[in-house]
């Protein structure tokens, strides 16, 4: 796999936490940074995909009225009614 060197300045306190984590995990700092960036990039890619999906739903008219959403949110955490037998 081809690699590139990327340099970044970190606040001293964050760099110290990175050093401590590397020591605890017995891993190089570069490995931890690579894992963290890969996770962040994947999260942002998923967030973008979901945003584009939501915008397509709005464009297609697949939406809910504000009152419907409020009613649904208000029902969360309440016990569900049992149906009659």
The verdict on residue 43 lying in a domain is yes
The verdict on residue 5 lying in a domain is no
Total count of domains within the chain: 1
Q: Tell me: the pLDDT tens digits for 3-54? A: 999 999 999 999 999 999 999 999 999 999 999 999 999 999 999 999 999 9
Largest CA distance in the chain: 67
Phi, psi of 15 (to 5 degrees): -65, -35
pLDDT band at 81; cut points 50, 70, 90:
confident
Percentages helix, strand, coil for the chain, rounded to the nearest 5?
65, 0, 35
C-alpha separations of 22 from 17, 19, 44 in Å: 9, 5, 25
The verdict on residue 52 lying in a domain is yes
The verdict on residue 49 lying in a domain is yes
Q: Domain range holding 28?
A: 12-75
Total-model pTM? 0.74
The verdict on residue 6 lying in a domain is no
Average pLDDT over residues 65-85: 86
Q: Tell me: the pLDDT tens digits for 21-33? A: 999 999 999 999 9
């Amino acid at each position: 796999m081809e690699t590139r060197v990327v340099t970044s300045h970190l606040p001293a306190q964050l760099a110290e936490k990175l050093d401590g984590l590397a020591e605890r995990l017995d891993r190089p700092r570069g490995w931890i940074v690579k894992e963290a960036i890969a996770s962040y990039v994947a999260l942002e890619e998923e967030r973008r995909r979901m945003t584009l999906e939501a915008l397509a739903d709005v464009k297609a008219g697949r939406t809910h009225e504000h009152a419907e959403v409020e009613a649904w949110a208000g029902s969360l955490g309440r016990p569900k009614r049992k149906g009659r037998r």
